């Protein structure tokens, strides 16, 4: 998760929402791939950290099924990312900060609890949650304070 937090900081430094992700093969301890949020720079609304990391993991493993791998991410996955996690057959998802507004694992649609889902990874939330949440709060606080004030 420390590596994911460093990736989140790099995303923030690039003007992206600070979310980072790391795919790990727990059987070997090997980092398979990494990803940082990048929708703005990539002009790609799907370039969330989880998607970027899973795409790279699929290339690295030569398989679109990422069975048995663990995805560490600094924020609870959204519905798009949770769906992709299920399709990729990720074995385990560990996230730092919960996302009551946009999350889809513990919040919102609770995607992994849906009976129509073909694969449900094991999940764990809260690992280094305060660090990730503080980074997100700081990022959005800075963005709000740097907006020009409208003169009506």
Annotated binding-site members? 48, 78, 81
Residues whose CB is less than 8 angstroms from the CB of residue 99 and which lie 6 or more positions away in sequence, other chains included: 75, 76, 78, 107
Given the residues 50, 76, 130, 142, the one annotated as active site: 50
Concatenating the DSSP letter of every residue in 40-80 gives: HHHT-TT--HHHHHHHHHHHHHT-S--BT-EEEEEE---HH
CA 14 – CA 42 distance, rounded (Å): 12
Question: DSSP 3-state assignment of 95?
Answer: strand
CA 119 – CA 4 distance, rounded (Å): 24
Residues whose CB is less than 8 angstroms from the CB of residue 64 and which lie 6 or more positions away in sequence, other chains included: 58, 88
Is residue 50 part of the annotated active site? The answer reads yes
Residue positions in the annotated binding site for Zn(2+)? 48, 78, 81
Q: Which structure tokens are listed for 142? A: 């800075």
Active site residues: 50
């Amino acid at each position: 998760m420390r590596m994911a937090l460093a990736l989140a900081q790099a995303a923030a430094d690039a003007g992206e929402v600070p979310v980072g992700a790391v795919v790990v093969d727990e059987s070997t301890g090997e980092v398979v791939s990494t990803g940082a949020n990048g929708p703005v720079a990539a002009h790609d609304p799907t370039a969330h950290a989880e998607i970027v990391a899973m795409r790279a993991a699929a290339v690295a493993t030569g398989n679109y099924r990422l069975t048995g791998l663990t995805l560490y991410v600094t924020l609870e996955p959204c519905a798009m990312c949770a769906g992709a996690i299920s399709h990729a057959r990720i074995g385990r998802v560990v996230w730092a900060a919960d996302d009551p507004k946009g999350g889809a694992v513990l919040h919102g649609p609770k995607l992994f609890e849906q009976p129509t889902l073909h694969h449900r990874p094991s999940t764990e939330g809260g690992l280094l949650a305060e660090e990730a949440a503080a980074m997100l709060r700081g990022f959005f606080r800075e963005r709000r304070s740097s907006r020009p004030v409208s003169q009506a």
